[in-house]
Amino acid sequence: MKGIILAGGRATRLRPLTKITSKQLLPVYNKPMIYYPIQTLAKAGIKDILIIVAPEYSGQFLNLLGSGSEMGVKLSYEVQDEPRGLADAFIVGEKFIGEDNVTMILGDNIFDHDFTDNVVSFKSGARIFAKKVPDPERSGVVEFDKNYKVLSIVEKPEHPKSNYAIVGFYIYDNRVVKYAKSIKPSARGEIEIVDLHNEYLSRGELEVNIIEGMWEDAGTFDSLLRVNNIIAEKVKQGELK
């Protein structure tokens, strides 16, 4: 299993903070944001990691992280020239993925969930994760039947059919590269990851696991402030270093 961290994009919602640096290099209490997804993958046993970055910030990531040896991982880097959607990561990372399965985490998603069992037990298909939230319309939304079988997944719907949002941690088998290449860009010009989910769903090969605990998408001022406060408290309580 290989790992990808998607840390490209322009993060316009966080301007002017992101005018001169990447969102994923902003501080979350006592560490740069990018440390948290690296640690999440490493904790799950994934040590061979590709970080996908925007061209103007690539040097900053390299200066901060280097080879990854200080964090006990092996880091590679690829540049995403334009933010073409989450699923584009698998096209950019095709050579890195090779013949392996792959886990992707979004560079601004911070968890306290341990994904080890989910990664170790994965065989084939796709395995994604959902959490009950108060504002599902900000994310991809998964609809279940009474037995928690997936009925549909819709990206940022105006009228969500459930309160379960898809979080930024995804596990796919090697076919994900082929499927990503077959996706037609959406109206906003992006290769949508929801189309990948639906490709596997249509084949009966999509599994959605519900997670508890903390999940923060630190892409807005409010969520960035909130996760800083959460992490600060965990450090003070000795739960994190």
**In tens digits, what is the pLDDT along the chain, a chain of 241 residues?**
999 999 987 777 888 988 889 999 999 999 999 999 999 999 999 999 999 999 999 999 999 999 999 999 999 999 998 888 899 999 999 999 999 999 999 999 999 999 999 999 999 999 999 999 988 888 889 998 888 788 899 888 888 889 999 999 999 999 999 999 999 988 888 899 999 999 999 999 999 999 988 999 898 999 999 999 999 999 999 888 8
Query: What is the DSSP secondary-structure string of 139-180?
Result: SEEEEE-TT--EEEEEES-SS-SSSEEEEEEEEE-TTHHHHH
Residue 128: Cβ within 10 Å count: 25
**Nearest CA among 173, 33, 202 for reference residue 103:** 173
Q: Considering only CA atoms, which of 63, 64, 65, 60 is closest in space to residue 49?
A: 65
**pTM score, two decimals?**
0.93
C-alpha span between 81 and 139 (Å, rounded): 24
181 token code pair: 């290449």
Give whole-number Cα distances, 224 to 109, 228, 240, in Å. Answer: 10, 6, 18
Pairing of strands 27-28, 31-32: antiparallel
CA atoms within 13 A on the CB side of 189: 3
Q: In which residue are the tokens 């490709």 written?
A: 199
The residues, any chain, with a CB within 8 Å of residue 239's CB and separated by 6 or more, are none
Q: Which amino acid is at 165?
A: A
- Give the separation between CA 110 and CA 228, rounded to whole angstroms: 11
Give the CB-side neighbour count of residue 99, counting CA atoms within 13 A. 0
